[in-house]
Amino acid sequence: MDIVLNYRLSDCEKKTESGLACQVLEDSKLPEGGITLSPFARKPKLLYGRTMFAHRELQYGGYCQECCRQHALPVQPAMEAATSLFAQLQDNSLLPPFATEALFGEARGKMFGVMLTQNTTGEHQIIKAFSGQLNGEWLIPGWVPPLFDVNIFNGINTPEEKRVKVLSKQINNTYCKDEQLALKIERRARSRTLMKNIHRLYLLHNFRGEQRPMASFFHAKKGMPTGAGDCCAPKLIHYALQRELIPIGMAEFYFGRENKSKTKQHGHFYSSCDSGCAPILGFMLCGLEELRADASRPKQVIDSPIH
């Protein structure tokens, strides 16, 4: 299916409620808050705005302890792909209708990301990701997978989750305080072990061919923030590394009902997060600058010596 770009970068700048200067991505035809046909409504229903907002300081990267500096990907090369993905999500042409609908319901919205890459033959390739799970699924065709093997994840997670649910039921059903306490201690210990075992599945790679467990980038006692490694940025970089794709740029935006803490709004671009991504992206992007310089250098023709 052809991708129709309904959006263009406009030159105008405007102040948002937060007071930050924004570059506004405007739809050339539709008014803000455009009419979108809801698959569940007979009449056209006003669902959400079609305007995108991008802050000037968007950054996708982190500090690299090896090089003692920041490694980051620029946003601009991926802007067109991002606005195109946004339009496809708006038009319900990408996800099952119920999945798009759910992003505006109780489950609320989600971060989506795109990356412009170059393959070994020099062709551009766009890859896309959703943060965490979408519609309860880790794997959706056309989207990059998580950093771990989903079968191994399920093998660890499913039986333990069941066990924790049974424990919760037992806690609620018992009136004996001592028994309750013992069950609670067991539940906490099991949840902790489960988290540790799940975190072990996250192995990070970089463009120098190095690898490190994700846990080593976080405070040993405080542990990892929830969802670390499941954001779009690490998923996209990880996939690019596996497929020998050279990242050129990336962009992440929020789609759906605003999050509970009201920090993310529909149609707004956001930088990679400080809690989960900043500590790991510097490592993951290490070696990319050198690789890109190599890829853009004209291939030397070496004459074979004549004996």
CB atoms within 10 A of CB 162: 10
Q: Is 147 in the site for Zn ion (CB under 5 A)?
A: no
State the number of binding residues for Zn ion (CB under 5 A).
8
The answer to whether 124 and 116 have CB atoms below 8 angstroms apart is yes
Give CA–CA dist 122/96, Å, rounded: 33
Give CA–CA dist 233/187, Å, rounded: 33
Give CA–CA dist 180/165, Å, rounded: 14
Give CA–CA dist 180/67, Å, rounded: 51
Q: Is 224 in the site for Zn ion (CB under 5 A)?
A: no
User: Minimum Å distance from CB 218 to Zn ion?
Assistant: 13
**For Zn ion, which residue of 78, 231, 240, 288 counts as binding (CB under 5 A)?**
231
Q: Which is nearer to Zn ion, 224 or 248 (CB)?
A: 224
Q: Which residues pair with 128 in a beta bridge?
A: 114
Q: Considering only the stretches 63-71, 81-89, 189-197, 250-258, report the one whose residues sit in contact with Zn ion under the rule CB under 5 A.
A: 63-71
User: Minimum Å distance from CB 108 to Zn ion?
Assistant: 17
CB atoms within 10 A of CB 248: 20
**For Zn ion, which residue of 4, 20, 67, 181 counts as binding (CB under 5 A)?**
67
Task: Report which of 81, 75, 78, 31 is spatially closest to residue 51, judged by C-alpha positions.
Answer: 31
Q: Is 286 in the site for Zn ion (CB under 5 A)?
A: yes
Q: Is 273 in the site for Zn ion (CB under 5 A)?
A: yes
Q: Which is nearer to Zn ion, 183 or 285 (CB)?
A: 285
Q: Considering only the stretches 42-50, 55-63, 186-194, 271-279, report the one whose residues sit in contact with Zn ion under the rule CB under 5 A.
A: 271-279
User: Minimum Å distance from CB 216 to Zn ion?
Assistant: 15
Contact characters 152-191, Zn ion, x per CB under 5 A: ----------------------------------------
Task: Report which of 25, 82, 63 is spatially closest to residue 250, judged by C-alpha positions.
Answer: 82
Task: Report which of 54, 120, 114, 110 is spatially closest to residue 84, judged by C-alpha positions.
Answer: 114
Q: Which is nearer to Zn ion, 94 or 231 (CB)?
A: 231
Q: Is 129 in the site for Zn ion (CB under 5 A)?
A: no
**Tokens at residue 168, please?**
């919760």
Binding site for Zn ion (CB under 5 A): 64, 66-67, 231, 273, 276-277, 286
